[in-house]
Amino acid sequence: MNEHLSALKSAESKLEAKIARLQSVADEPTLTRIRLQLDDVKNEIAKLEKESNEPDQ
């Protein structure tokens, strides 16, 4: 679980850096696609963090 989370956080920072890098060179559909990927990663991170914070039943 922790490895998966750290891999997702690494992917998140890579995608944020990629958006910053491509801001001036890529067209809007490309940036939109990368933002969608970033949203997917952020959602997955939020889901995992919520699961890990929930008390054991």
Partner 1 sequence: MSLINKLIRWYFGPSGFGTRGIRRARVSGALTIVGSPLTVQRGVEVAETGIVTRRFVCRYFAEVNDKLPGITGEATVRAISAKFSRDITCEGEVSGTTGVMAFTLGTACAFANDVSTFGDGTGKILLDEATETQDRTGWRSVSIRCSSNPGLT
Three-state SS at 55 = coil
On the CB side of 19, how many CA atoms lie within 13 Å of its CA? 16
> Least distance to partner 1 from the beta carbon of 51, Å?
23
> Least distance to partner 1 from the beta carbon of 20, Å?
13
Query: Which positions lie near partner 1, rule CB under 8 A?
Result: 14, 18, 22, 25-27, 29-30, 33, 36-37, 40
CA gap 7, 21 in Å, rounded: 21
Q: Tell me whether residue 30 or residue 52 sits nearer to partner 1 (CB atom).
A: 30
Tokens 């919520």, residue located = 50
> Least distance to partner 1 from the beta carbon of 32, Å?
8
